[in-house]
């Protein structure tokens, strides 16, 4: 039993929460001693007092710890029965973007496993911060989750969330309007240098991977392009199709159907190697931008105070969904590789990505709204 109490930081957080919730039990034990032959002050250290040669703290353990472990057992039972009502998944961007496309793949399967509806709710704006803030202020019971991405988590709010499951972390694709007379990234660089201030690129918001990939490209290539932020990559894609912007660094799951139909042209991927969904599209680093490497991630987060057992169940069920052949096939066709990171590995991954992009943003004087 003690192993359950001390294993991992999340369990310690749960233990503290449960002890706080069971303060009345501790107060009851303290009252027993106050009514005995010794009188305890209202504020005291239990370990300093004895009753019949036995410390007051020992009595606390004898009488209260069984109740405490009953609470642990009840918490575990509650987690196994989760969810008992519909779950809301907040997508902090407009529909038809990368986060939404992945959510739509997962939601029907999760609903089937849980026997409860999973409601996708859009709360776009401020590079995903509006939706993230909503989840941070929600009840930490697991019934309000966040489909997060690179832009959503930053130094200001990272402490408010806990990682549940990394869904995918993949290279983005550099796509252009077909009217632009270029065929690869090196052509684009040459065009930008000879056509100053004529190129603009869209993104899902300031600080998003679709934005930072473009800033990294600009910095490495020594060119200038106007950045146009939107409330989601879906909205940016619509303007690209209308030639209001000339290019964007998009999640493959957002742009794949338009690439396949010829409505936009893919000329490079932001990773160090080609992706299976677009085998003929070369990495941007092959165009003379040595060391260029940028990925965008999508994952499920929850309020930092979510009970450990519930967060574990949600993680396990999401992994169960992503191991289904039809789900893997659907994600792969959209250029997304399902992830199998543990919550601890996911949290470490977020910190590493934060460090990388924070430096880039500082160097480029990028300020999150």
Q: Does the domain at residues 173-295 carry the CATH identifier 3.40.190.10?
A: yes
When pLDDT is averaged across residues 1-8 and rounded to a whole number, the result is: 38
Residue 61 confidence (pLDDT) above 80: no
109-166 confidence digits (pLDDT tens) = 999 999 999 999 999 998 899 999 999 999 999 999 999 998 888 888 989 999 999 9
Give me the pLDDT at residue 291, please.
81
For residue 11, give the nearest of 60, 75, 102 by alpha carbon.
Answer: 75
Q: What percent of the chain has pLDDT over 90?
A: 56
Whether 87-169+297-361 and 173-295 share one fold: the answer is yes
Mean pLDDT of 50-62: 51
What's residue 31's pLDDT?
A: 42
List helix spans (H) across 222-302: 233-241, 252-261
What are the tens digits of pLDDT across the range 216-228?
899 889 999 999 9
Per-residue pLDDT of 272-310, as tens digits, reads 888 888 999 999 998 878 888 888 899 999 999 999 999
For the cut 50, the answer to whether the pLDDT of residue 36 exceeds it is no
Mean pLDDT of 90-99: 92
Inform me whether the pLDDT recorded for 366 exceeds 80.
no
The domain ranges of the chain are 2-80, 87-169+297-361, 173-295
pLDDT at 53 over 70: no
Omega cis (within 30) before 83: yes
Q: What percent of the chain has pLDDT over 70?
A: 77
Q: Is the pLDDT of residue 175 over 60?
A: yes
The pLDDT of residue 338 is above 50:
yes
Q: Which CATH class is domain 87-169+297-361?
A: alpha beta
Q: What is the pLDDT of residue 207?
A: 84
Which of 207, 208, 209, 185 is closest to 199 using CA atoms?
185
pLDDT band at 12 (very low <50, low <70, confident <90, very high): very low
Q: Write a three-state SS string for 3-68.
A: HHHHCHHHHHHHHHHHHHHCHHHHHHHHHHHHCCCCCCCCCCCHHHCEECCEEHHHHHHHHHHHHH
Residue 157's CB is within 10 A of a number of other CB atoms, namely 14
More confident residue, 349 or 23: 349
Q: Select the more confidently predicted residue: 360 or 149.
A: 149
Distance CA 240, CA 359 (A): 29
pLDDT reported for residue 334:
86
Selected residue with higher pLDDT from 198 and 21: 198
Q: What is the pLDDT of residue 326?
A: 96
Mean pLDDT of the chain, nearest integer = 82
| Stronger pLDDT, 349 or 60, i.e. the higher one | 349
* Average pLDDT for 230-249: 95
Q: Beta partners for 166?
A: 299
Whether the CB-CB separation of 299 and 148 falls below 8 Å is answered with yes
């Amino acid at each position: 039993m003690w192993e359950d109490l001390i294993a991992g930081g999340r369990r310690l957080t749960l233990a503290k929460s449960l002890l706080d919730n069971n303060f009345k039990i501790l107060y009851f034990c303290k009252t027993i001693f106050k009514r005995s032959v010794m009188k305890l002050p209202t504020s005291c250290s239990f370990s300093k007092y004895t009753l019949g040669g036995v410390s007051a703290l020992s009595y606390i353990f004898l009488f209260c710890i069984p109740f405490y472990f009953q609470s642990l057992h009840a918490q575990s039972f509650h987690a196994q029965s989760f969810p008992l009502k519909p779950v809301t998944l907040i997508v902090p961007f407009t529909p038809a973007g990368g986060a939404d496309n992945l959510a739509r793949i997962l939601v029907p399967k999760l609903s089937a496993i849980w026997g409860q509806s999973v409601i996708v709710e859009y709360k776009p704006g401020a590079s995903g911060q509006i939706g993230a803030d909503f989840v941070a202020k929600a009840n930490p019971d697991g019934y309000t989750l966040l489909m997060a991405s690179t832009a959503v988590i930053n130094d200001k709010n990272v402490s408010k969330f806990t990682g549940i499951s990394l869904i995918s972390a993949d290279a983005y694709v550099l796509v252009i309007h077909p009217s632009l007379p270029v065929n690869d990234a090196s052509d684009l660089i040459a065009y930008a240098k000879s056509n100053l201030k004529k190129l603009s690129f869209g993104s899902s918001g300031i600080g998003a991977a679709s934005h930072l990939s473009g800033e990294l490209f600009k910095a490495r290539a020594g060119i200038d392009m106007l950045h146009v932020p939107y409330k989601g990559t879906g909205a940016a894609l619509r303007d690209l199709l209308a030639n209001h912007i000339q290019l964007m660094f998009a999640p493959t799951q957002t742009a794949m159907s338009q690439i396949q139909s010829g409505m936009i042209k893919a000329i490079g991927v932001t990773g160090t190697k080609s992706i299976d969904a677009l085998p003929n599209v070369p990495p941007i680093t092959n165009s003379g931008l040595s060391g260029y490497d940028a990925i965008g991630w999508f994952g499920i987060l929850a309020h930092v105070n979510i009970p450990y057992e519930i967060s574990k169940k949600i993680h396990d069920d999401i992994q169960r969904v992503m191991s289904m052949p039809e789900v893997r096939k659907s994600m792969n066709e959209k250029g997304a590789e399902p992830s199998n990171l543990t919550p601890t590995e996911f949290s470490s991954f977020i910190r590493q990505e934060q460090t990388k992009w924070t430096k880039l943003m500082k160097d480029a004087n990028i300020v999150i709204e």
